[in-house]
Amino acid sequence: MNAQTAQCKCTEDRRKFSEIANLVDLYRDTEGSLIQILHAAQEMYGYLPMELQEIIAGALGKPLSEVTGVVSFYSFFSTKPRGKHTIRVCLGTACYVRGGKKIIEGLQDKLNLEIGETSEDGRFTFEVARCIGACGLAPAMMIDGKVYKQVTPQKLDAILNAYTD
Ligand code: FES
């Protein structure tokens, strides 16, 4: 990374952090403010690095341990950068008995990723879900908002190839 790129990233971080300071002011006195602020921060920044959690704790006058405790308790908060696309393979009962595990293994093979990881190229984050409402056509998986039904390991290449960006 050259000096100019580093400078740009730093400027960008400062801009985002200043927006988060505004959010803290906005939600400060509302009930459940910490969770709302963390949601909004993750929406803006993509994830919740420790530096950001420290800023939020400081701005709210709360101990850092309270903020990190909430972030680690809820699975929808992430402390690592997420991929551009999120793959969620359903492991609810219907999908599990109809081959959901084979879909998981197929994706692990193709992407060289374990559940919860993000690919090195930043393309995919790989997660599991517990029913995505397509039980009648199990096994199912979802990429971003799109649901794929009756998935087989043989269909995975075609599905993944639609996400080349
Ligand atoms: S159990 Fe997989 S969609 Fe419902």
- Block means of pLDDT (10 residues each) for the chain, 165 residues, are 46 69 84 90 87 90 95 88 93 96 96 91 92 96 96 97 89
Edge-to-edge, what's the strand order for the sheet holding 124-129? 124-129, 85-90, 141-143, 146-148
Using DSSP's 3-state secondary structure scheme, residue 127 falls into strand
Q: Which residues 6+ apart lie within 8 Å of 63 measured at CB?
A: 57
Residue 81 pLDDT: 87
Q: Which two tokens stand for residue 110?
A: 């193709």
Intervals of CATH 3.40.30.10 along the chain: 85-161
Q: Which CATH topology does 85-161 take?
A: Glutaredoxin (3.40.30)
CA of 67 to the centre of ligand 1 (A): 33
How far is residue 55's CA from residue 60's CA, in Å, rounded to a whole number?
A: 9
CA of 108 to the centre of ligand 1 (A): 20
Are the C-beta atoms of residues 83 and 125 closer than 8 Å to each other? yes
Residues in the ligand 1 pocket, defined by CB under 6 Å: 90, 92-95, 131-135, 138, 140
**CA 70 to chain centroid:** 16
- Residue 98: CB atoms within 10 Å: 18
Residue 116 pLDDT: 87
Cα–Cα nearest to 99, from 157, 158, 149, 147: 149
Taking the CA of residue 100 as reference, the ligand 1 atom at the shortest distance is 2
pTM of the model: 0.70
Residue 112 pLDDT: 94
Are the C-beta atoms of residues 94 and 149 closer than 8 Å to each other? no
Taking the CA of residue 131 as reference, the ligand 1 atom at the shortest distance is 4
CA of 4 to the centre of ligand 1 (A): 48
Residue 165 pLDDT: 76
Mutational test site, ligand 1, from 98, 102, 127, 135, max ligand atoms within 8 Å of CB: 135
What letter represents residue 123's amino acid?
A: R
CA of 119 to the centre of ligand 1 (A): 25
Taking the CA of residue 93 as reference, the ligand 1 atom at the shortest distance is 1
Taking the CA atoms of the chain, what radius of gyration do you get in angstroms?
A: 19
Residue 23 pLDDT: 84
7-16 burial: b if 16+ Cβ within 10 Å, else e: eeeeeeeeee
Residue 2 pLDDT: 44
